[in-house]
Structure 1
Amino acid sequence: MANGLLDDAVATVRPAQKVRGRVARVLAAGGETFVTEQVESLSFSFDGIEGDIHAGTTRKSGGREPWYPRGTEMRNERQVSILSAEELCDVAERMEIDQLKAEWLGGNLVFEGLPRLSMIPPRTRLVFENGAVLRVDGQNAPCRIAGRSIASNFPDREGLDLLFPKAAARLRGLVGWVEKPGIVTAGEGVTAFVPEQWIYEA
């Protein structure tokens, strides 16, 4: 590679950083739906949240993985759903509803104080004060399924299921998987160790 091209590539690298926040709420889906409910603590194993509907080392592929036949067994990189208290307020305002609860979206963790949570990049390590560590896979794209869950709580409003994917674009939070097991409780600190970032262009 020519030195000029290498220099250009190096110049676009953004340094690693760490950002601190707080766990505001912890929730789990213990039933047959993705809707969660608040719990006192979450116990993370390598399979995810023990007893949660999304727990497991592997999962079946769906509409998010069109490169596989639906139902293909694959690595479960969506063990945990992470939301931002601030972004939930932003989306509620965009949808003109008085509140947007993490439960309706199947959220497991609600953070406070991590700016632009949904834009935190893949490979970021979320290190909790009590020792558990999650690894960010990426953004959780908003969909009509979550939109229908929201709409069921506002029977007098039409079209919320369709509005949600638009209003929550890049504000829907993150999904991730367990790198180091542990117990997470509301109120503890969390630090996002954001890796170096760059834009890849072939």
Structure 2
Amino acid sequence: MTRVRAAICLMVGWVGLLWLLEGVDFASGNALDSFGIEPRDVGELADVVPAAFLHFGFAHLTANSLPLLLLGFIAAVRSGVRRFLGVVLLVIVASGLGVWLTAAPGSNTAGASGVVFGLFGYLLVRGFIERKALDIGIGLAVGVAYGSIVWGALPSDNGISWQGHLFGLIGGVVAAFAFRERTRAVTAGSTVRPVP
């Protein structure tokens, strides 16, 4: 299976799962909302990963679906599915723990927007870290197309989890470093030695 086909299957399946879960949540009278992250309660650490797959209504899910689908597809094609899954896991954990540590008391946070911000950050800096012209171009295009979302990572009191956005963005940048392609020290029979 080519990277493109694998990326399409993965992202369509992922977004489809989010819609299915929101349908179940709606039909159950929002029973899944209890899996959101409530800050600084140790028992809530178990909800860090599930919260990234849940939403508070179809409007919330609709707002996240297209950017998740597009940014996820690009990242999966450029990185390969295995590396992409590592990036997403790091972003989910960074975003969720950031919410758990810093969100307002009594709040409940869920949604894939932390992942969207993480993929944005990952794609934005990946090309510069990898030193690949195509990925630099992709990062610049992503920056132009989605750059305005950065305002969502700034502190506000509008009921949107800027903490999830900010820590997702940070997680994406960290993932670009953590999951960069390693260059080989030995090429074509010659050895590269560090300069003392």
Fold-level similarity (TM above 0.5):
no
**TM value normalised by structure 1:** 0.28
**TM value normalised by structure 2:** 0.29
> Structure 1 or 2: larger helix share?
2
Between 1 and 2, higher relative CO (CA 8 Å, sep ≥ 6) is seen in 1
